[in-house]
Amino acid sequence: MIRFQDLKPGDFVIAEFEGQKWEGTVVELNREDKEICVETDVQQFWFKPEQLSGIPLSDEQLIRLGFIRQPDENNSIKYLKGAFRVFVPEKNNFSNLEIWYREDRRSLTQPITVHELQNHYNQMTKVELTRN
């Protein structure tokens, strides 16, 4: 489940209905009824927060978001998108990362999801993080 207040239009999430799961994009928030409109490859539909979950951040997801992978000889990886950086100290271990943009540097000591990275990116750069 994703907390309603953690979502914004443009966030990528997984929506579940009657056992089916779809990856989709948050289109609209209905604050009065606490419902989230998510567009999937099938259609747009309104979901409750308990029907949504985050997409775990991974190498594949970062590449889909347009980051360029830059391996290091120390088994670490840096992902680049313009001046924004995601540093993964241990290859394929996304439970401990560092992100930075110019002077703003953040250490994250637990796994995050794609929509959480989108929110950090937006706070730091003032630009939406979208897929190419």
Predicted local confidence at residue 30, as pLDDT: 96
Q: Which has the higher per-residue pLDDT, 16 or 72? A: 16
| Global pTM value | 0.92
For the cut 80, the answer to whether the pLDDT of residue 132 exceeds it is no
- State mean pLDDT over 36-46: 94
- State mean pLDDT over 6-32: 95
Backbone angles phi, psi at 116, to 5 degrees: -70, -40
For the cut 90, the answer to whether the pLDDT of residue 13 exceeds it is yes
Domains in the chain, ordered, with CATH?
Answer: 4-53 (2.30.30.140), 59-125 (3.30.457)
Predicted local confidence at residue 29, as pLDDT: 97
What's the pLDDT tens digit per position in 44-86? 999 999 999 999 999 999 999 999 999 888 889 999 999 999 9
Alpha-carbon separation of residue 125 from 10, 80, 91, 99, 102 (angstroms): 15, 14, 25, 12, 9
Predicted local confidence at residue 92, as pLDDT: 83
Predicted local confidence at residue 2, as pLDDT: 92
